[in-house]
Chains A and B, each alone.
Chain A
Amino acid sequence: MSPALLNLVFESTLETLYMVAIAGLISAALGIPLGVALYTSRPGQILERPVLNNVLSIITNVGRSVPFIILMVAIIPLTRLIAGSSIGTNAAIVPLTIASIPFVARLIEGALNEVGPGLVEAAQAMGATPLQIITKVLLPEARGGIINGLTITVVTLISYSAMAGTVGGGGLGDLGIRYGYNRFDPMVMLVTVVILVVMVQGFQSLGDHLVRKSDHK
């Protein structure tokens, strides 16, 4: 591989990491509260709001059912509004984030659902407010499940980011398509895939390690 091409591989790796990191952080920041809202507004839960729960649930399902490639082009006007442009790496972050918020929310909801109802009840018996139950009982007790969910999100983001080339976002997936596929360079294809595999492996191991460390069960 030529030095120019190597440089391109390096830059693409950084672009992928950048997209995944920013999209991951924002979707966690918005997806975790949404997941908490989805869980606590369920009937029989501490902030029972059946109508709100239905609305949130429908929005989340819609968000999750639109294929990523379609979502990316469908929200171009919104992307332009937020990122200032509809092409480029920053522009790719907008659809990545929007696609992963409902994804994170459902995973968080699932993680909270694993917390025993007896713990919430015990906290209620101690006179805890709903906010205290969320911050002192639900989130800490679900920590392992939450980290697990975020790990899955990061891995999914890495795979979604391969489609960012569609809007000129760059990244490893884009490189693989342009050089590996369109220019018939199997070496580039192999290198990008190997880097992606290593990246996924690394994030998964990190996530598993954090889950083990936080788990006292």
Chain B
Amino acid sequence: MITLKNVSKTYGSGDKPVVALKDASLTVPQGAITGVIGLSGAGKSTLIRCVNLLERPTAGSIIVDGQELTALDESALRSARHQIGMIFQHFNLLSSRTVFANVALPLELAGISKAEIRKRVEPLLELTGLSDKTAQYPAQLSGGQKQRVAIARALASRPKVLLCDEATSALDPQTTASILELLKDINTKLGLTILLITHEMEVVKSICDQVALISDGELVEIAPVGDFFTAPQTHLGREFLNDFLQLEPPRALVERLETMPGPHTHPVVRLAFSGDAVSTPLISRLARECQVDVSILQAKVESIQERTLGLMIAELMGDSHQTQQALDYLESHDLKVEVLGHVTRTA
């Protein structure tokens, strides 16, 4: 539904051009929700603004619903934009218009009759839970309500695609959750394809099907969300995930960690379980079969959409032969094992 082909964007020229986007390629299938995640300044905003050509890419092409936007003239681009809704971090509602008139704006722009506008706006206000707010002005609404108005407005022209530019970044966690729920809801009900950018893993986790990781203007990793959360392929991906899961070993342990095993050390491992491994009693089997003791230092279970992800930091206690055997056992059971280091036996 949305395809970016080798899209680059450079600002300025001469000696110091700023490269905001480098050769980015991405496909968002019909009906899917794709999240682009990255730190601030990574090029997320440029990327999403290139999709509806608020920024014109310096190279590459953008195809939305089979139409190559980069090849269109001004007036064809304007009508193509009716098919692409967009919501923003700061809502961008017109303060001089009521909720109803804000939602009606894209229809007025398209030259639709007053009666038809009323017919189309009312169900949207209902869908977004704003039926009792139609005559209010944006200044009277909370942040979450404003974003609901913005969503209703973006849907008014019955777009096939919705772009969300940090749509929940200005909202508190509870409001964020309700807005995400609404987005998921319209994705399912209307079959709307959604491309969003965010710096919050929570957003990706709760509603995205696919995630693209952006760094310095490059899409470094694109993966289904389930795969990304269980086994990120890049260093940056792992950093994002660890930050999100906050599964860093405790500080006291880190201070004791040594990189090389010694004669009297135990390995400390980080285990990531997914799929079948989650429901298997692996730790007790490990203890029984390899004769090691397992000391669990930290553990967490996350459900990422339909999949469950278990994470654990544990110390494997036994002699070097036993612990090696334990590591082999774990690796043969389809879970990700990462040896963080070794600690000297205390006992």
Contact surface of A with B, Cβ cutoff 8 Å = 116, 118-119, 121-129, 132, 136-137, 140-141, 143, 214, 216-217
CA distance A128 to B81 in the complex (A): 9
The answer to whether B95 touches A126 (Cβ under 8 A) is: no
Chain B residues numbered 96-137 whose CB sits less than 8 Å from any CB in chain A: 96-97, 105-106, 108-110, 137
Residues of A within 8 A of B110 (CB): 127
Contact surface of B with A, Cβ cutoff 8 Å = 52, 54, 77-82, 84, 86, 88, 90, 92, 94-97, 105-106, 108-110, 137-139, 157, 163
CA distance A129 to B92 in the complex (A): 18
The answer to whether A127 touches B54 (Cβ under 8 A) is: no
Contact of A216 among B78, B84, B92, B95 (CB under 8 A): B95
How many Å from the CB of B88 to the closest CB on chain A?
6
Residues of B within 8 A of A128 (CB): 78, 109
The answer to whether A122 touches B96 (Cβ under 8 A) is: no
How many Å from the CB of A195 to the closest CB on chain B?
36
The answer to whether B96 touches A140 (Cβ under 8 A) is: yes
CA distance A216 to B138 in the complex (A): 8
CA distance A25 to B82 in the complex (A): 38
Chain B: interface secondary structure? mixed
Contacts A126-B81, A216-B95, A216-B137; A121 near B54 (Cβ below 8 A): yes
Contact of A125 among B54, B137, B139 (CB under 8 A): B54
How many Å from the CB of B140 to the closest CB on chain A?
8
Contacts A118-B88, A121-B54; A127 near B109 (Cβ below 8 A): yes
27 residue pairs bridging A and B, Cβ less than 8 Å apart: A121-B54, A122-B86, A122-B92, A123-B105, A124-B54, A125-B54, A125-B81, A127-B77, A127-B80, A127-B82, A127-B106, A127-B109, A127-B110, A127-B157, A128-B78, A129-B109, A140-B94, A140-B96, A140-B97, A141-B94, A141-B95, A143-B96, A214-B96, A216-B95, A216-B96, A216-B137, A217-B139
Residues of A within 8 A of B106 (CB): 126-127
Residues of A within 8 A of B79 (CB): 127
How many Å from the CB of B49 to the closest CB on chain A?
8
Beyond A128-B78, A143-B96: 6 further Cβ-contacts under 8 Å?
Answer: A126-B81, A127-B78, A127-B157, A132-B109, A217-B95, A217-B139
How many Å from the CB of A49 to the closest CB on chain B?
15
CA distance A125 to B163 in the complex (A): 10
CA distance A123 to B109 in the complex (A): 9
Residues of B within 8 A of A122 (CB): 86, 88, 92
Instruction: Write the chain B residue with the least CB distance to A133.
Output: B109
Contacts A127-B82, A128-B78; A116 near B92 (Cβ below 8 A): yes
Residues of B within 8 A of A121 (CB): 54, 88, 92
CA distance A97 to B109 in the complex (A): 35
The answer to whether B96 touches A127 (Cβ under 8 A) is: no
CA distance A122 to B79 in the complex (A): 15
The answer to whether B78 touches A125 (Cβ under 8 A) is: no
Instruction: Write the chain A residue with the least CB distance to B156.
Output: A126
How many Å from the CB of B64 to the closest CB on chain A?
13
Residues of A within 8 A of B95 (CB): 141, 216-217
CA distance A71 to B108 in the complex (A): 45
Contacts A128-B78, A129-B78, A136-B105; A141 near B92 (Cβ below 8 A): no
Residues of B within 8 A of A124 (CB): 54, 81
CA distance A126 to B94 in the complex (A): 13
Contacts A136-B108, A136-B109, A217-B139; A125 near B84 (Cβ below 8 A): yes
The answer to whether A126 touches B157 (Cβ under 8 A) is: yes
CA distance A85 to B82 in the complex (A): 56
Residues of A within 8 A of B78 (CB): 127-129
Residues of A within 8 A of B92 (CB): 116, 118-119, 121-122
The answer to whether B52 touches A125 (Cβ under 8 A) is: yes
The answer to whether A216 touches B54 (Cβ under 8 A) is: no
CA distance A37 to B15 in the complex (A): 33
How many Å from the CB of A167 to the closest CB on chain B?
41
Residues of A within 8 A of B108 (CB): 136
Residues of B within 8 A of A123 (CB): 105, 109
How many Å from the CB of B107 to the closest CB on chain A?
9
CA distance A45 to B27 in the complex (A): 32
The answer to whether B94 touches A127 (Cβ under 8 A) is: no
How many Å from the CB of B36 to the closest CB on chain A?
17
